[in-house]
Chain A
Amino acid sequence: MQSTAHAFKDNARHALADGNLQQSLAMLKVGFSERRRQAVERLPEFEALRDRARDIKDHALANLDFYLEAFEARVTALGGQVHWAPDAADARRIILDICRRAGAKTVTKSKSMIAEEVALNEHLEANGIEPVETDLGEYIIQLRHEPPSHIIAPAVHLTKDQVADTFFEHHRKLGFNRRLTERNDLVAEARQVLRRRFQEADVGITGANFLIAETGSSVLVTNEGNADLTNTLPRVHVVIASIEKVIPTLEDAATLLRVLARSATGQEWSSYTTFNTGPRRADDPDGPVEYHVVLLDNGRSNVLGTEMQAMLRCIRCGACMNHCPVYGAIGGHAYGWVYPGPIGAVLTPQLVGVEEAGNLPNASTFCGRCESVCPVRIPLPGLMRHWREREFERRLTPAAVRQGLALWAFLARRPWLYRLATGLANRMLALLGRGEGRYRWLPLAGAWTRYRDFPAPQPGGTFHAQWRARGGARQ
Chain B
Amino acid sequence: MTARAQMLDAIRRASKRGPLAGEARTALEDRLRQHRTNIVPERTAGSQEDRIRQFERWATFNQASVACISAKEVPAAVTDYLAANNLPARAVMAPDSALDRYDWTSRGMLELRRGLPQDADRVAITGALAGVAETGTLVFVSGPEHPTSLNLLPETHIVILRERDVVGPLEDVFARLRARYGEGAMPRTVNTVTGPSRTGDIEQQLELGAHGPRRMHILLVGD
Contact = CB atoms under 8 A, between A and B. Distances in A.
A287 B143 CA distance: 10
A164 to B, nearest CB: 9
Nearest to A285: B147
Interface stretch (A112-120, A244-252, A443-451): A244-252
A254 interface: yes
Interface stretch (A96-104, A155-163, A378-386): A155-163
A62 B24 CA distance: 12
A271 B198 CA distance: 7
B188 A305 contact: no
Contacts of B184: 74, 214-215
Nearest to B4: A84
B212 A305 contact: no
Given A66-B20, A254-B170, A276-B188, A214 B199 contact: no
Interface in A83-110: 83-86, 90
B117 to A, nearest CB: 9
A255 B187 contact: no
Given A251-B38, A254-B170, A153 B201 contact: yes
Contacts of A295: 7
Given A159-B203, A214-B32, A223-B197, A85 B188 contact: no
Contacts of A422: none
Which of A69, A186, A251, A257 has the most CB atoms of chain B within a 10 A radius of its CB? A251
A272 B151 CA distance: 11
Of A24, A56, A271, A277, the most chain B CB neighbours within 10 A belong to A271
A418 to B, nearest CB: 43
Interface string A5-42: 00000000000000000001001100110000000000
Contacts of B16: 305
Interface in B184-221: 184-205, 207, 209-213
Given A63-B20, A281-B187, A153 B42 contact: no
Interface stretch (B75-83, B105-113, B134-142, B158-166): B134-142
B200 A65 contact: no
Contacts of A276: 188-189
Given A65-B11, A225-B212, A301-B11, A136 B204 contact: no
B186 A301 contact: no
Interface stretch (A122-130, A262-270, A389-397): A262-270
B58 interface: yes
Interface string A222-253: 01111011011100000000010000111110
A53 B151 CA distance: 30
Contacts of A274: 189-192
A275 interface: yes
A286 B6 contact: no
B207 A69 contact: no
B142 A52 contact: no
Q: Which of B6, B36, B62, B192 has the most CB of A within 10 A?
A: B192
Nearest to A213: B32
Given A65-B19, A285-B116, A45 B210 contact: no
A287 B11 contact: no
Interface in A42-59: 43-45, 48-49, 52, 56
12 contacts: A48-B39, A84-B4, A86-B6, A187-B210, A223-B210, A250-B174, A257-B170, A269-B132, A279-B188, A286-B147, A301-B14, A302-B14
Given A64-B11, A229-B152, A283-B143, 9 more contacts: A45-B39, A45-B41, A64-B15, A65-B12, A67-B28, A86-B10, A160-B202, A198-B211, A281-B187
Q: Which 10 A-B pairs have the closest CB atoms?
A: A225-B212, A224-B210, A137-B201, A304-B14, A31-B204, A269-B135, A277-B186, A301-B10, A249-B35, A84-B4
